[in-house]
Structure 1
């Protein structure tokens, strides 16, 4: 948000509307995945209304909504535009007491909003900071005091909305190629099934532990999560055994903190049911007081297995190139930044290889795009096989690849790896009446020469790559600093 804050209001608004247009989501038909997210927010926070809102120049439009909300409303006097304009969460406990909204037609008339809590929904634009285009919010006709957990829940669901929007945008960009469209459709269908599972993710139960009697009571929902019959009663054995380590220790430590400080907690943990089935659960706990003294621990346990799996899958999709299953450009930058931080802390050095395929266009032209895809997959396999343990290969896009080498690899090790790669990246493809040859040209740069700066390091590797190409394709060159800091050799 730093760059966005430096812009004028008009520039910020123009950037937001451009980002909104790019994702092509405004005025689209209802979609099950977005409806599931809005419904989940309403259920988890217990409000009468919820929405996923996009902010257009003169209106706010609801991609998904629950409760008595119109499909769209004017922007003036609404709550969500404040979240979008500030880029920060907004909580209004009682709108009639808030001078910003007391006169709003949405407060004085239908749907008679009193409580509002909303968080930003952002999209990532190539080469820029995330841009806020809408909100995920919950509303109610009664005032209420939100808890810190409420905002955490909304922010977590907003991350899912952002991932879903990004996944949808990827699908739109890929729609021109029939084969890519097929793969995208399959991926979206998998995600639809996962979101359908998330709709049924209301598995929850309550418990109460009597401190004096040292006895525990469970609701039926807790028995269901444990996969134990209600008639069998709460197990006499140590119920903490359902939590494997290290989560068991973390849970016990959280309970002890609550007993000592009186502060409630919430945590996510791995869980194994009585039938041996692995689950992911969310646990909350707080003190029950009687006449000012602690008498019990009370809380909730919720099966969040499907949501956790969904988050892991979306995280994988956001970081992985679909064709090669290598890391994508975003994930490569994230890992490279982490390696550079480690190098700065240890006064070390990191080597980066930029790889460009020579002759790849000829494969597509002579043998077709299916053969070109086969080459890219084969290159990915050889990068994985040829690089040292600890190396991190990625596909940056098109026929461009990159590798971050381990910090303990010296110049001799880099040379050995590069020579192996130059050999392994020589690929010959044969087809009816045609033979095509692909090689790899490599540019090498060291982080110490780039001041541990990622952008500068990649520019230097790119400069070395083109020196190698001018010399002879299928070779490698290392960046060398001259007086102008612009040469490689």
Structure 2
């Protein structure tokens, strides 16, 4: 490894143990004292070396707390990561000019060994030295380095223990922060559940048990303390949604494809709800382990959507279906009739005398007439007919295939009588009646536009002949009814 990379690794390791510039510690002081006493020198130190200086974690004798790194003898041990012993530094060309040799503390004898720290990957890297120094020359002995190496092992054990403790403290702090983050996220999720009327679930396939979040308990109107009613989960879905939901779950288990569906729901307290349920597979080692998903109470949203749909399809004055809804239903019933090989009839109704009520008594009286007509037409709905207001004083009725041509005759006669009444108020009345045009889908080949044109033609044929009667398209008078 290049020297620059090795230096960077040593400095990183030194920084990670956070030992620089820390207060004195008895264990390190004792090591320095042992080295001094055993080797009989006037000075000793446990030295850490950073990019600019050597700093003494422990020292004995006339040593400053720190010195510049460059001219220090310990720098050689640090950079070579090898022991060094010098009998007389003043005679060694490498150190004779050093200010620590030429000046205080007048180093002559020096013996030093590396102090290393174990990295997480098991490698050891030098972070400093354990050394003894004297202001008098002495003959080096091999035993001096042997003693220093043994004492350095103790120093390294202290450093390693500190590194392990720091890593453990850091890991504990990370765990504490993770727990705090999870708790914070849990609270935020619970708040989100409450705001969205939502909850989550997890069904363990092997254990056949389900876990709910608080939000799901709230949707079920069940206390959290009671636990999940595992054996009764499908009972909350009324039919046919129960079967539909179960089929979707089985399909997900079989194919792995997630699903999302809206379904009716009945809570533990018997209250009807509309919920949105999502479901997907949770895998463990590539195999299905659980089903997970969300349950959201969309009752209010569903009711609003239903109201909006109702408003979009309903005439505001009479509360009958409007023209758009009439056309939609007629298209569907024509399709069904064709599929069954049957026919249905459409009645177009135009009010006679209505303009007189509006002109004489105003629109409020006219509106009352329209509502009375709607009430009479709604009675037809009990027999499977579909009445609607197309606009103004024009109404229409879809007659079901079950009624047939023979049943239609008596129904139209009754309808013509029901549509004949007096509109107005005391002092003024106006006769109101209805004229009806009839067309059968067979003559229009099941085409809505043609069918309605035929019914309209029959209506105006009846009006020309006699108002307050009915006419069937294609008849030459035999189909006229006078009500």
> Which TM-score tier does this pair reach, normalised by the shorter chain?
0.5 to 0.7
Q: How far apart are 1:360 and its partner, in Å?
A: 0.3
Contact 1:289 1:295 in 2 (8 A): yes
Query: 1:216 aligns to what?
Result: 210
Is 1:280 matched with 2:280?
no
Equivalence for 2:102: none
Q: Are the counterparts in 1 of residues 198 and 216 from structure 2 also a CA contact under 8 Å?
A: yes
CA apart distance, 1:436: 0.8
Gap runs ≥5 in structure 2: 1-193
Where does residue 428 of structure 1 map in the other structure?
422
Would you say 1:461 and 2:455 are equivalent positions?
yes
Q: Which residue matches 1:343? A: 337
C-alpha distance 387-416 of structure 1, shift in aligned 2 (>3 A): farther
CA contact (8 A) 2:252 2:280 kept: yes
Q: Distance between the aligned counterparts of 1:388 and 1:314, measured in 2? A: 25
Residue correspondence of structure 1 range 365-376 to structure 2 within 5 A: 365-376=359-370
2:301 is equivalent to residue 301 of structure 1 = no
Contact 2:344 2:404 in 1 (8 A): no
Q: Aligned partners of 1:255, 1:476: CA distance in 2, in Å?
A: 55
The 3-state SS of whatever aligns with 2:257 is: coil
Runs of 4+ residues deviating >4 angstroms: none
Partner of residue 393 from structure 1, selected from 364, 387, 390: 387
Match of 1:269 in 2: 263
**CA separation of 1:431/1:346 partners in 2, compared to 1, >3 Å: closer, same or farther?**
same
Give the 5 Å matches for 1:469-488: 469-480=463-474
Partner of 2:440: 446
Aligned to 2:373: 379
Of 389, 394, 400, the match for 1:406: 400
CA contact (8 A) 2:357 2:424 kept: no
Contact 1:203-1:303 at 8 Å conserved across structures: yes
Q: Note the alpha carbon deviations across 1:230-264, whole angstroms, 9 max, x for none.
A: 23332354322222222222222222222222221
Q: Contact between 2:209 and 2:230, CA under 8 Å: does it hold in 1?
A: no
In the alignment, the residues of structure 1 paired with residue 204 and residue 280 of structure 2 have an alpha-carbon distance, to the nearest angstrom, of: 12
The structure that has the greater radius of gyration is 2
Task: Report the TM-score when normalising by structure 2.
Answer: 0.56
Aligned to 1:354: 348
Shift of 1:386: 5.2
Q: Indicate which of 264, 289, 293 corresponds to 2:283.
A: 289
- Alpha-carbon distance in 1 for matches of 2:286, 2:381: 64
The corresponding residue for 1:104 is none
How far apart, in 2, do the equivalents of 1:397 and 1:292 lie?
Answer: 62
Cα gap change, 1:388/1:240 in structure 2, threshold over 3 Å: closer, same or farther? closer
> What are the superposed Cα offsets for residues 46-97 of structure 1, whole Å, 9 maximum, x if unpaired?
xxxxxxxxxxxxxxxxxxxxxxxxxxxxxxxxxxxxxxxxxxxxxxxxxxxx
Matches of 1:267 and 1:447, distance apart in 2: 37
Aligned residues: 285
Does residue 1:241 correspond to 2:235, yes or no? yes
1:324 maps to which residue? 318
Residues 215 and 344 of structure 1: is their aligned pair in 2 closer, same or farther, counting only changes over 3 Å?
closer
The offset of 1:377, in angstroms, is 0.9
Q: Give the superposed CA RMSD.
A: 2.1
Picking from 236, 249, 254, the partner of 1:255 is 249
| Structure 1 residue 387 displacement after superposition | 6.8
Contact 1:348 1:407 in 2 (8 A): yes
Q: 1:373-430: CA deviations, max 9, x gaps?
A: 1111111111223577111111100000111112133333222222212211111024
The answer on whether the counterparts of 2:234 and 2:242 sit within 8 Å (CA) in structure 1 is yes
- Cα gap change, 1:421 to 1:214, in 2 (>3 Å): closer
Q: CA deviation at 1:204?
A: 0.9
